[in-house]
Amino acid sequence: MRFGITLLAVILATGCTAFVVGGGGGYQPGQDGRASAVVSSDSATTTEINSKFASDPMLRDYSIVVRTYKGTVTLTGTVPRAAARDQAGQIAQSAKGATMVNNQIVVDD
């Protein structure tokens, strides 16, 4: 018991608390491998698409999740008609910064 307490005290005293709580390994929160300009562009693309969805009469009542990573836009959610799914894909593809669209929206008849 005394050994365990001593070991914990040494770990805490040497600044290794990240390993004790599971945050070791050199990971820095908020970094996903994209340059800040790419993160900014992806964010602008996502915002543009969400704005267009909110103003589109066919889509505004549905919860469609938009994620953009390095220009690739992924759409998820559920809509009642294939036309709404297709409309969402077309809007996403037309957004500035969108290089590819992965339309995973499910049609729930």
Indicate the domain borders of the chain. Answer: 33-107
Q: What is the mean pLDDT of the chain?
A: 83
Confidence category of residue 109, pLDDT binned at 50, 70, 90: confident
Q: What dotted CATH number matches 33-107?
A: 3.30.1340
Tokens of 73: 């836009």
Cβ(28)–Cβ(22) below 8 Å: no
Q: What share of the chain is helix, strand, coil (3-state, %, to 5)?
A: 45, 20, 35
Under the banding of pLDDT at 50, 70 and 90, the label for residue 6 is: low
Closest to 66 (Cα-Cα) out of 80, 46, 40:
46
Closest among 86, 92, 90, 60 to 107, alpha carbons compared: 86
15-65 pLDDT per residue, tens: 544 444 444 444 455 567 899 999 999 999 999 999 999 999 999 999 999
Residue 26 is predicted with a pLDDT of 46
The pTM of the whole model exceeds 0.85: no
Report the alpha-carbon distance of residue 47 to residue 19 in Å, rounded. 37
Determine the length of the chain: 109
